[in-house]
Structure 1
């Protein structure tokens, strides 16, 4: 069986929340209302990876202001600008790590963002993720926002989605 990448559907949330709880050990996991809020505001920008009939990974994205990551655990009432394609949360179950699930989800998101005309993708790398994101081409970038709520060692990172001239 292969890994299927598809848009999030309402029945996926219990599995998504279980993956979030499994993956985040240095942060308090965001509540379901905050997580599902991303998919409500930007349904075309949120995906799951399904393997053997179960959700094994997810990626929540949305348009946002460049260099100003959104606050954690806060429900958004509207999307703030469309200057950057913001990758809010990528998590993959340990059951499928090493199978390229994160890279497949990321490729789906970056293709979507490029096709929509975004010039940059941004994110805050937490826990031990900065190394993963560097391997994907993201580089640390300045932000005036405090990243304390994201945990020790959090790094704001960006990726250009346009080819250099």
Structure 2
């Protein structure tokens, strides 16, 4: 691990972090643009599930997660009015880390933080949409592909290779 990596730390997102987190996301996920309003929305609805990776005073990554309904996915780049009353899973909306900070376990660390929040909130499952060939990464974290015909059309709005994945426990 380089000295730069050693200085990167995850912490809870604060309201003043939202704009920079959105900039990081759009720099990394050029094919999955989301407006700043989406980041503000998720933070306002569920700040306990929002984290930033900092190196000094710079935000170099983020993770956004929130309660949702199992076997359902939010529409990409859409503000949601409220979290579902019948939330039955803990949904990982997105994790993005600038390239210089991707090694050293930074992504795995935020997945553990999110899993801890899911457990704290009483969720037995976690779910996500895997894109950019990340299936293997998520499988190493205990997620498995769940093929649901009802989600196929919505998954296509993410990308041709988008997969719905779930982790139990």
TM over 0.5: yes
Which runs of 5 or more structure 1 residues have no equivalent in the other structure?
A: none
1:31 to 35, 44, 59: 35
Once the two structures are overlaid, the 10-residue window that deviates more, 17-26 or 59-68, is: 17-26
Equivalent residue runs for 1:1-165 within 5 Å: 1-27=6-32, 29-80=33-84, 81-143=86-148, 144-145=150-151, 146=153, 147-161=155-169
RMSD (CA atoms) = 1.4
Q: Is the 8 A contact 1:67 1:142 kept in 2?
A: no
Between structures 1 and 2, the one with greater helix share:
2
Give the drift of 1:153.
0.3
- 1 CA distance for matches of 2:19 and 2:103? 23
Offset of residue 113 of structure 1? 0.7
CA distance in 2, matches of 1:52, 1:95: 14
- TM-score by length of structure 2 reads 0.88
Structure 1 residue runs of 4 or more that deviate by more than 2 Å after TM superposition: 1-4
For residues 4-28 of structure 1, give each alpha carbon's deviation from its aligned partner in whole angstroms, at most 9, with x where no partner exists: 221111221232122212221333x
Q: Is the 8 A contact 1:57 1:101 kept in 2?
A: no
Equivalent pairs counted in the alignment come to 160
Shift of 1:127: 1.4
TM-score (norm 1): 0.90
Q: For 1:128, what is the secondary structure of its paired residue?
A: coil
